[in-house]
Chains A and B, each alone.
Chain A
Amino acid sequence: MADPNSQNIDLRTTENGFKYHRGSALSIFKSDRREDIVALICALAIALGVYLFIGN
């Protein structure tokens, strides 16, 4: 694996060859780290939305 952060694996590699040139069979993101950061941004956006629109 050339890039140590890459998830350049595909469960279907042996059957069909690589299907995606970015991400992996499990994620559209290049690395776990990038997916984590996007998840964090999504969670913060939801939390902000709940805070602004629901309130106590």
Chain B
Amino acid sequence: MVYTRKSPALTIIGLILLAHSYLVKNGQLEAVVKYLSLTRAVGEMTQLSLIFGGIALVVGLWHWFADHKEGDLDYYLGSVAGGIFILFVAMIVKWYFDPLVAQLSREIGPVIPGRRFIHDVFGLNYVVLGIVLGMVIVNVFKIPEWAQHGVRLSRLGLKTGVILLGTLYSFRELVHLGQLSVVMIGVFVLGSVWLVLLIGARRKIPNSMGGVLSAGVGVCGVSAAVAAAPVVQAKSEEIAYTIGTILVFGVICMFLFPVVGHLLGMGYVQFGAWAGTGILNSAQVAGAALAFQPNGIETLKVAEIFNITRVLFLPIIVLWLAVWYVKRETEAGATNLVQVDTGKVIIEKFPVFVLGFIAMFLLSSTGVFAPAQHYQGRYFDNTNVSGSRLLNDAELTTLRTESAKLQRDDQKAALGRLIDNKKVMSIADSDVLRGIVSARTLAGPANAAITKANGAVFHTAKMIAAFRDWLTWLFAFGLTGLGMQITIAAMRQAGGEPLVIGSAVGVAKAVLSLIVVVMLVRETI
């Protein structure tokens, strides 16, 4: 089978991107840039359009004019068209559609007290809009034939993003979130799998159907269902039913979770923990987290730790299902069963991308991308504070006067060192001083001086900032492509028992995890 299509489409996209880069760079789109508040994105718009426009033009010409024969070159280079198609749609959404929706929403004015606009309330940002546009394209217009093959690259983008996410965690964050996630995920994964198997047995669905559905609903969605399928000897239609159920439920959750999170006033850690536990499919966890907080990745980081923790449960669940299936079928009198090799199952099913995430975290922990003690990409360094950023005489006088209000010895000592040195002297002092500001013990000018001093000794690591940009685009790419794979036909396949059982357990998991998160998870890392 030859995958590459002889079409001018990719060449045309390449020319459009190159023209876009030229127009943005030379200010011909200045009026649009100003209206949509895109000034900060101009550099990115110029560079990305130039790079990917060039790639699209070169590969596009090859697609259009070369003679294609079946083989690896045709298979892998043929997928570039679909990949660029996803990226092109993601660029339109991120640079134009999302800012336009936000602008129109602001022009309409706040819809609820507290200056919340329509796009805030419904979480209409580039993630949600990208997925929706992807779904509209596939279900209304159909994916163009020349792009269909490469649209299957979207999950690769998501996995690459998850691995790179490892660079952004500090040891302190990972230890805290890791403990929290293992307990929560352990309870909910094992509980969900058990519940699906129990209900499945009561409703007399085939063991293979129950097994594959329990993995999909309990662990991490589509990948888990596919991984568990061989050990429970699931048929293709049973896998399709499970995937349909996960997609239906996952799509609803992806749009509903952020709205509920905002309405309940959840913080980043709380929402991340809830999404990472309650949403069935890994891809949709990232979608919900970015939809909840589109202009930062704190929520995504928390959600992905929970997601990765449950992915780590996959080999255990596959093993459990293998043993369970053999036992159930033997009881039913089956004779053609394969013996379960525990070690082989664990090795075969262990998700390598999780190892990649851990490897990237360990690499980052050596300090190669940012000082090892960085926290959320910012690190402490008070050695090169410029004169203008040191506290001035007026600020020192204010702090001396206000220091009498402090009662605690550690706070007095930290403030004393700040006054003596005109700058913050350690991370411990910084923490104590931030506590003083949070408690609002001192007057406004004194708090402003402390905030200024703290700002002067914390720096953003350039490489970490670059990783954040990469992540934004990898997830935009992956999630827009995910939208293009959510077909009405696929969701229809979920009908009947699997949808009833999967939805019942999914709702229970979402509601119970919400209660646990709201009651037990604190908004601190």
B462 contacts which of A21, A29, A55 (Cβ < 8 Å)?
A: A55
Determine if A40 and B463 form an interchain contact, defined as CB atoms under 8 angstroms apart.
Answer: no
B152 contacts which of A14, A26, A51, A55 (Cβ < 8 Å)?
A: A26
Determine if B351 and A32 form an interchain contact, defined as CB atoms under 8 angstroms apart.
Answer: yes
| Chain B residues whose C-beta falls within 8 Å of the C-beta of A46 in the assembled complex | 160, 164, 470
| Chain A residues whose C-beta falls within 8 Å of the C-beta of B355 in the assembled complex | 40
Known: A39-B356, A51-B368. A25 touches B485 (CB 8 A): yes
CB within 8 Å: A-B pair count = 125
Determine if B164 and A14 form an interchain contact, defined as CB atoms under 8 angstroms apart.
Answer: no
Determine if B348 and A4 form an interchain contact, defined as CB atoms under 8 angstroms apart.
Answer: yes
Shortest B69–chain A CB gap in Å is 15
With both beta carbons as reference points, the residue of chain A lying nearest to B490 in the complex is identified as A11
Q: What's the tally of chain B residues with a CB closer than 8 Å to chain A?
A: 53
A28 contacts which of B75, B348, B493 (Cβ < 8 Å)?
A: B75
A36 contacts which of B348, B351, B360, B370 (Cβ < 8 Å)?
A: B351
A7 contacts which of B159, B226, B485 (Cβ < 8 Å)?
A: B226
Determine if B155 and A26 form an interchain contact, defined as CB atoms under 8 angstroms apart.
Answer: yes
Determine if B75 and A11 form an interchain contact, defined as CB atoms under 8 angstroms apart.
Answer: no
Known: A11-B487, A54-B462. A38 touches B156 (CB 8 A): yes
B1 contacts which of A5, A21, A29 (Cβ < 8 Å)?
A: A21
CA gap between A30 and B148 in the complex, in Å: 17
| Chain B residues whose C-beta falls within 8 Å of the C-beta of A26 in the assembled complex | 152, 155, 222, 485
Determine if A40 and B356 form an interchain contact, defined as CB atoms under 8 angstroms apart.
Answer: yes
Shortest B468–chain A CB gap in Å is 11
Interface of A is mostly: loop
Shortest A47–chain B CB gap in Å is 7
Is B97 at the interface (CB under 8 A from chain A)? no
Known: A40-B353, A43-B360, A50-B369. A32 touches B152 (CB 8 A): no
A42 contacts which of B1, B160, B485, B490 (Cβ < 8 Å)?
A: B160
B200-248: which residues lie under 8 A (CB-CB) from chain A? 222-223, 226-227, 229-230, 234, 236-237, 239-240, 243-244
| Chain B residues whose C-beta falls within 8 Å of the C-beta of A21 in the assembled complex | 1
Determine if A43 and B356 form an interchain contact, defined as CB atoms under 8 angstroms apart.
Answer: yes
Determine if A43 and B75 form an interchain contact, defined as CB atoms under 8 angstroms apart.
Answer: no
Known: A1-B230, A22-B75. A9 touches B369 (CB 8 A): no
CA gap between A23 and B1 in the complex, in Å: 13
Determine if B226 and A56 form an interchain contact, defined as CB atoms under 8 angstroms apart.
Answer: no
Determine if A50 and B236 form an interchain contact, defined as CB atoms under 8 angstroms apart.
Answer: no
CA gap between A5 and B237 in the complex, in Å: 17
| Chain A residues whose C-beta falls within 8 Å of the C-beta of B356 in the assembled complex | 36, 39-40, 43
Determine if A1 and B229 form an interchain contact, defined as CB atoms under 8 angstroms apart.
Answer: yes
Determine if B152 and A28 form an interchain contact, defined as CB atoms under 8 angstroms apart.
Answer: yes
1/0 per residue, CB under 8 A from A, across B455-488: the answer is 0000001110011001000000000000001010
Of the A-B pairs whose beta carbons lie under 8 Å apart in the complex, a sample of 20, sorted by A's number, is A7-B226, A9-B226, A15-B489, A26-B155, A28-B152, A32-B351, A33-B352, A36-B352, A39-B156, A39-B163, A39-B353, A43-B160, A43-B163, A43-B164, A47-B164, A47-B360, A47-B467, A50-B463, A50-B466, A56-B463
- A residues lining the B interface (CB < 8 Å): 1, 4-5, 7-15, 19-29, 32-33, 35-40, 42-43, 46-47, 50-51, 54-56
- B residues lining the A interface (CB < 8 Å): 1, 75-76, 79, 148-150, 152-153, 155-156, 159-160, 162-164, 167, 222-223, 226-227, 229-230, 234, 236-237, 239-240, 243-244, 348, 351-353, 355-356, 359-360, 363, 368-370, 461-463, 466-467, 470, 485, 487, 489-490, 493
Q: 8 smallest A-B Cβ distances: which pairs? A: A36-B352, A39-B159, A43-B163, A11-B490, A40-B356, A4-B230, A36-B353, A42-B160
